[in-house]
Structure 1
Amino acid sequence: MSKRKQGELEAEVLGCLWDRPDGLSSQQILALLGDDSLAITTVLTVLSRLTDKGLVTRFPGNGRTLIFKAVLSREEHTAKLLLDAMGQSNPALVFSHFAGGLSAKQLEQLRKALDQ
């Protein structure tokens, strides 16, 4: 596999956890990533960093196994990133540019969500 960009492996690990909200062991994550060049120690390092960032929590599983879960859902995480970015910008302009990139279906879904 080609060299990953900075943060890409963290995003892939979070993706695994978002797809399996009940939690996964590091071995399960490694298997889901499907990259034979990755070592379990690399996955554990990424999980440790994500835990330090408050994005992942861990708890005991069977025996010595640890189970990892994402703290926020994919949607909650994305919303937090958007809110953080908007804190540094003009929200009206951010939403204007954002909405300009949405399809008609996505705009309708957004309208429905805002009306709730």
Structure 2
Amino acid sequence: MSDKRKQGELESQIMGCLWDRPDGLSSQQILALMGDDQLAITTVLTVLSRLGDKGMVFREKLTGRTFVFKSVKSREEHTAAMLLGAFDQSANPALVFSHFASGLSPAQIASLKKALN
């Protein structure tokens, strides 16, 4: 992995680990899944703390000093919240919906119609 990450990239990677394992992971397990020999456990813990401050992650105490970290929302719930936030930022939500819909594949349109019914 490169020495410099884009802003939010590490958060996204950690969230990906948590979304893939909804039963939760310890910080050591997250570090192992990341597969970056240069990434320190303290960095992972700092990012987990920041994700907790943002309300995206919570930690559950197991035994002793062991904690398991879990995502507050599923990947799909998080993505939906981001989409809704993007629509809310527009002065013309109908136009945003129009542009959004024009980028959907036929299968995605069918899925959207099914969800709306």
TM-score of Structure 1 vs Structure 2, range by shorter chain: over 0.9
Partner of 2:107: 105
After superposition, the C-alpha distances for 1:26-80 in whole angstroms (9 at most, x for unaligned) are 0000011111110000000000000000000011023211110000111111111
Residues 1:85 and 2:86 aligned together? yes
Corresponding letter in the other structure for 1:82: L
What TM-score does the superposition give when structure 2 sets the normalisation length? 0.94
The 3-state SS of whatever aligns with 1:4 is coil
Query: What is the Cα-based RMSD across aligned positions, in Å?
Result: 0.9
Runs ≥4 residues deviating over 6 A: none
Cα distance between partner residues in 1 of 2:84 and 2:28: 33
What's the TM-score, normalizing by structure 1? 0.95
Paired amino acid for 2:58: T
1:100 deviates by: 1.4
Gaps of 5+ in 2: none
The 10-residue stretch of structure 1 (78-87 or 49-58) with the greater mean CA deviation from structure 2: 78-87
Percent of pairs with identical residues: 74
Partner of 1:21: 22
Deviation (angstroms), 1:98: 1.2
Give the Cα–Cα distance (whole angstroms) in 2 for the partners of residues 15 and 78 of structure 1. 12
1:11 alignment counterpart: 12
Unaligned runs of 5+ in 1: none
Comparing 50-59 with 81-90, greater Cα deviation is found at 81-90
Aligned partner of 2:107: which letter?
Answer: K
Size of the aligned set, in residue pairs, is 115
* Partner residue, 1:39: 40
Using the TM superposition, name which of 17-26 and 59-68 deviates more: 59-68
